[in-house]
A = this chain, B = another copy of it.
Amino acid sequence: MEWVDGSVRMIDQTKLPDKLTYVVVKDHYKMARAIKEMIVRGAPAIGVAAAMGLALAAKGSHAKTKEQLIARLHEAANILRKSRPTAWNLFWAIDRIIREADKATGSPTAIIHQVVDEARKMAEEEVQASHRIGDFGTTVLADGDGVLTHCNAGTLATVSYGTALAPIRTAISQGKRLQVFATETRPRLQGAKLTTFELLSDKIPVTLIVDGAAGYVMRQGMVNKVIVGADRITRRFVANKVGTYMLALAARANNIPFYVAAPTSTFHLEGDQSDVKIEERGADEVIRIGGKRIAPREVRVFNPAFDVTPVELVRGFITEKGVLSPEMLRADAVL
């Protein structure tokens, strides 16, 4: 995701792995739609996309006063906030941009510049955070490890380098030999489509399994670490792609450390489960694959996009500030 000449250029993730195509987003309406339609997805990427959406709104505002500009930003923020409900990064990023704009002084044009700069700075910060997550995360990985990951928490879910994939990339760059297992991640198959694509592009071998096979590969000793990303982390719960909770339970049952890798922009320590809105998506994601219907037309479908894992099941949170235990989260860890 890049800011290019007053537009945002990003990969259309819905077309991968078949086609690597880019879309150019020019206003916050299109950005909200890109988030909703999952052209851009992954919590840190969604956060930066929202910030850039506000930058586009600022640029396109033709505001004559600061008040007009702030009003325009609030309007755009309301639209962007409704794009998807679960990833905390979205709300965090919007609040940060609005706060910066509120604080800013100077002409409307100067403030618009500051808003654009802030959005671009957030993108750079997320890249740095990913590399720091890699640095901290590699310490939990040993030569010869089998590492399982879920959904896509790589470059495509961030700005670059990834969250759950960052420790894997760093460990491999240090010469550690890892066996990487990716769950396909139904219904949208981000593991099969995106994680495999990313890792194979970087010449990192990866083995694809169906979601239900994760417990078996753990029991068979093929995997001895699990690392996933997160959409929202509170003091007691991790909201992440549906299926994460069962992976955490299987890891616990097999004495396998289960790690959550996420930048601090994903943490909402003031929040609790009641705040965590778990998005329910349409039936078609489940009953149609590649345009083909796989179930009887009249079947009822329940399709939560995320689930909730108690922090007690997490061995460590790998952040850009270090690896935190669940106890540190519940105490007053400052993030």
Contact = CB atoms under 8 A, between A and B. Distances in A.
15 contacts: A184-B295, A189-B294, A197-B296, A200-B299, A208-B287, A210-B286, A210-B303, A212-B244, A213-B242, A213-B243, A213-B302, A213-B307, A246-B249, A289-B289, A289-B294
A214 interface: yes
A215 interface: yes
Interface in A256-314: 278, 286-287, 289-292, 294-296, 298-304, 307-308
Nearest 10 Cβ contacts at the A-B interface: A212-B243, A290-B292, A216-B307, A186-B210, A215-B246, A192-B295, A215-B245, A289-B289, A211-B212, A196-B299
Contact of A208 (B215, B286, B292): B286
A302 B196 contact: no
Contacts of A291: 292
A214 to B, nearest CB: 7
A328 interface: no
A304 B249 contact: no
A17 interface: yes
A301 to B, nearest CB: 5
Given A200-B298, A300-B205, A287 B192 contact: yes
Contacts of A110: none
A26 interface: no
Given A189-B295, A193-B295, A289-B289, 12 more contacts: A184-B294, A185-B212, A193-B294, A206-B299, A208-B287, A209-B303, A210-B303, A212-B244, A212-B307, A214-B246, A216-B245, A216-B307
